[in-house]
A and B are shown apart, each in its own frame.
Chain A
C-alpha cells in the first residue's frame, strides 16, 4: 500500500508531466526517496496509479541505475569507476572501502548502515578520484578522507 504522502507525491508528478506514463521515473524516484528502495509491491501499486502494467513499470525500474530494486543501507556509497578515477587509483580506494566496511562492492553492512556500489563517471574528473555518499560528491579522495568519513558519518570502525 502506498501511503497518502506517496500518493500525493505521485499525483503531483502526474500533474507536471505530459501523461501518466511520462511521470513513471519521477514516481519511482519519489517513492524511493521515502522508502529507500522499490519493492515488487511498490511496483504494483505505482503501476496501478500510472495505468501501466506491472511488467511495463518493472522494465523501466530495472533499466535505470539509480532505482534500487533491492533493499539498500541507510547510506549508499557510490565509488566512481570512470576512466579518470581509474587512472588515479579508484580500484585501490574501492578495495580499501571494502576492507574497512567488511563488505564487497554491491553489498550492505550487517547493521544495514551502508551499501557500497560502483557508479559511472560523475563528471568531477578534475577532482578525481571521487565518490558519492547519498547525494553528496566527495572529491580528491584519499584513504585518509575515507577514514574520516567512516568515523564521522557511519559511526563504525575508524
Chain B
C-alpha cells in the first residue's frame, strides 16, 4: 500500500517541521473541514469511514463523538484528550507517529476538536516521554499557534481552540479512559463508575472525548480522501492503515505501516522473519493485554473484528514475538509482575488476585510449582475478570488463560522437573 500515516517520514531527518508538513499538503484536511463541513458532517464522515480507536479497545470513533450531549446542555467547555500515555508493554507506535510527524497528529486533534465543538484539548503524555516526544509536541504547538491553527478564530472560522500538555508521572492506569480523567484532575488514576460515561461527564464533570494518538492521525486523511477510500485500505473487515509493530527475536524489529487486516505471517515477513537459529513459538499480537496466538493462528487477519471472532484481542497492534527459547510460563510471569505492580488497587479482585497469581508463577519458575497450580491459576483468573471497574484487569489475565489453553505442557514440565526447563537457554 501507499504510505498514509508515514508518508512524510524520512530516514535522514527525524521530525517533519510545519513548513515541510504544509508543503506536503498538511492542514488541508483542517481547512476543508472548517470551510466545507459542519461539525456534524465531520462526525458523519468519520463514522462512515469505519475508523475504530487505535488505543486497544477498538471503539468506533465517530460513534464516540456522536454520543456527546446535545449543545443545549450547559456543561462547558467540551474537552478532547489525546492519549499519549503508551504504557502497554510491547507498544511503541504513538511515540513513532509523534516523533516523526507531530503536525499530522495535531491536525487530527484539531479536526476532532471542531467536530466535537470543543474549545479545549489536552495532550496527555507519559512521564517517561519527557524527551523527546513531549518536547516535539511542545514545539509543534508553538509552530501551529504562530501559523494561526490554534487559539482564537482559527483560520477565520470563528472557532476557538486551545491545546495544553499534561505531563504525567508514570502509572499504567493513566492509559485507561477513566483513570486518565482522574490523573488530569490531580488525583490517583483510579477508575470511575460508569455511567456517567466520560462523553457526558468526564474531566471536571465536562463532556470529554478521549482518543489515542494514532486515531487522531487517521482523521485528516479521512477528511481529504473520503470515508470510502479509508474503508478500502483495510484488507479484511476493519478499515484503514495501521501502524503495526513487531519485536523480539526477529531480523528487523520495528514499526510497519500496513493495511488493517495484515496477518501475523505477513507482518513477520516484513520484519525479515525470525533471527537465524530461532523458531517462532507464539505472539502477543497487540501488547501484553492480548491473548497468545500460536503457529496455527498466523493467517488470522490482525484486526479487531477477525481476532474477536477467534476470541482474541487486537489491542494496540504491536506484536511481541516469543521464540522457541522463550519460556511461556516465564514470559507470563513477567507480564503478571507488571500487572501486580501496576494495579491501581481500587478493586479487590485485581489488587489481591494479581499478586497471588504472580506468586504462583514465581513458584513455577523457581521449581516450587505443584500439581493443581494450573487449575488454581485458571480459577483465579476467572474470578478477576468481570469483577472489576475497569478493563485492565481483564487484559491482565488473558495471557494466563490463553497460555494455559495453548501451552499447558510447559506448565506440566515445570511441575514435573521442579525447575524451569528453559533456564539453560538464558
Residues of chain A having any CB pair with chain B under 8 Å: 16-19, 21-26, 28-29, 50, 59-60, 63-67, 81-84, 86-89, 91-92, 119-128, 132, 135-136
Contacts of A83 in B (CB 8 A): 89-90, 284, 288, 320, 331, 334-335, 338
What would 13 more interface pairs be, CB under 8 Å, given A65-B127, A123-B87? A22-B186, A25-B183, A60-B186, A64-B168, A83-B288, A84-B90, A86-B331, A123-B86, A123-B95, A123-B126, A125-B92, A135-B130, A135-B131
Say whether, besides A66-B170, A135-B130, A84 and B89 are in contact (CB < 8 Å): yes
Q: Measured between alpha carbons, how far is A81 from B321 in the docked complex, in Å?
A: 16
In angstroms, Cα B186 to Cα A91, docked, is: 34
B88 sits at the interface (CB 8 A): yes
**Chain B at the A interface: mostly helix, strand, loop or mixed?**
mixed
Smallest CB gap from A28: residue in B: B169
Residue of A nearest to B255 (CB): A126
8 tightest A-B CB contacts, nearest first? A64-B169, A65-B170, A125-B247, A121-B89, A126-B253, A21-B186, A66-B170, A24-B186
The answer to whether B187 and A125 have CB atoms under 8 Å apart is no
Question: Which residues from chain A contact B52 at a C-beta distance below 8 Å?
Answer: none
Residues in chain B within 8 A of chain A (CB atoms): 86-92, 94-95, 126-131, 164, 166-172, 183-189, 203-204, 245-249, 253-255, 284, 288, 318, 320-323, 326, 330-331, 334-335, 337-338, 341-342, 344, 426
Q: Is the CB of A18 within 8 A of B248?
A: no
Contact assessment for A125 and B245 in the assembled complex, using a CB-CB cutoff below 8 Å = yes
Given contacts A25-B168, A63-B189, A66-B169, contact A123 B91 (CB under 8 A): yes
- Inter-chain contact B90/A122, CB cutoff 8 Å: no
Q: List 18 A-B contacts (CB under 8 A).
A: A21-B186, A22-B185, A25-B167, A25-B168, A50-B186, A63-B189, A64-B127, A66-B169, A66-B170, A87-B331, A89-B426, A120-B338, A123-B92, A125-B91, A125-B318, A125-B320, A126-B253, A132-B128
CB pair B204–A82 under 8 Å, yes or no, is no
Q: Give A82 to B204 CA distance when docked, in angstroms.
A: 33
Q: What are the residues of chain A within 8 A of B166 when measuring CB–CB?
A: 25
Please name all residues of chain A whose beta carbon is closer than 8 Å to the beta carbon of B90 when the two chains form the complex.
Answer: 82-84, 121, 125
* Cα(A124)–Cα(B86), bound, Å: 11
Q: CA A57 – CA B335 in complex, angstroms?
A: 30
Across the interface, B188 reaches (CB within 8 A) one of A63, A66, A121, A132, namely A63
Cβ-defined contact, B167 with A29, below 8 A: yes
A67 — which chain B residues lie within 8 A by C-beta?
169
Q: How far is the CB of A89 from chain B (nearest CB, A)?
A: 7
Most chain B beta-carbon neighbours within 10 Å: one of A66, A127, A128: A66
B185–A87 touching, CB < 8 Å: no
User: Across the interface, which residues of B come within 8 angstroms of A132, CB to CB?
Assistant: 128
Report which of B92, B127, B167, B168 forms a contact with A124, defined as CB distance below 8 A.
B92
| Given A83-B331, A86-B331, residue A121 in contact with residue B87 (CB < 8 A) | yes
A86 to B342, CA, bound (A): 17
Q: How far is the CA of A4 from the CA of B341 in the complex (A)?
A: 37
Q: Which residues of B contact A24 (CB under 8 A)?
A: 186
Known: A23-B186, A60-B188, A121-B88. A128 touches B247 (CB 8 A): yes
- CB of B322 within 8 A of CB of A120, answer no
B238 CB → nearest A CB, Å: 23
Q: How far is the CB of A113 from the nearest CB of chain B, in Å?
A: 22
Residues of A within 8 A of B342 (CB): 120
Please give the distance in Å from A31's CB to the nearest CB on chain B: 12
Q: Would you call A82 and B89 a contact (CB within 8 A)? A: yes
The smallest C-beta distance from B272 to any residue of chain A, in angstroms, reads 12
Q: Is the CB of A126 within 8 A of B254?
A: yes
Once the chains are docked, how many angstroms separate the CA of A22 from the CA of B164?
Answer: 13
A21 CB contact (under 8 Å) in B126, B167, B185, B255: B185
A7 to B87, CA, bound (A): 31
- Interchain nearest-CB distance for A17 vs B (Å): 8
Which residues from chain A contact B203 at a C-beta distance below 8 Å? 18
